[in-house]
Amino acid sequence: MSRLLVDTHALLWWLADDPALSPAARDSIADPANEPLVSAASVWEIAIKRSLGKLSVPDDLPDRITSGGFAWLPISALHAWQVRDLPPHHRDPFDRVLVAQALIEHLRIITADAQFDAYGVEVRW
């Protein structure tokens, strides 16, 4: 079983059945041999964008994520502390937390963001 950390945009594209999600990413998330994870950082990012009017998502989004077969990845103090050692390849604080989580937890990341490659994490797209 592979544990996969699903980036925020990939999660939203999955939930909306958006064709922007690559076939390889879609297959990886759907594969019952994999465990797709959603970071608390992604929900936090979505909540902020929704409150600013930049994103429209349903009120029951966390329930939809859970019922969609995703498991939760909380942000630990170790995850947050790992960010201090990351080079500044990416300026988005949410993505930097995802990178830190992937490094500590040995996760592959489902993302279209090419900047993740610079951190040496395994990206699946």
* Domain locations in the chain as residue ranges: 2-124
At 34-44, the pLDDT tens digits run: 999 999 999 99
Structure tokens belonging to residue 58: 């349903």
Q: Contact, 106 vs 4, CB < 8 A?
A: no
At 16-36, the pLDDT tens digits run: 999 999 999 999 999 999 999
- Alpha carbon of residue 31 to chain centroid: 17
Q: Contact, 80 vs 97, CB < 8 A?
A: yes
Topology of domain 2-124, CATH? Rossmann fold (3.40.50)
Structure confidence at residue 90 (pLDDT):
77
More confident residue, 105 or 90: 105
* pLDDT surpassing 90 at residue 69: yes
pLDDT band at 88 (very low <50, low <70, confident <90, very high): confident
Cα gap 89→72, rounded to integer Å: 26
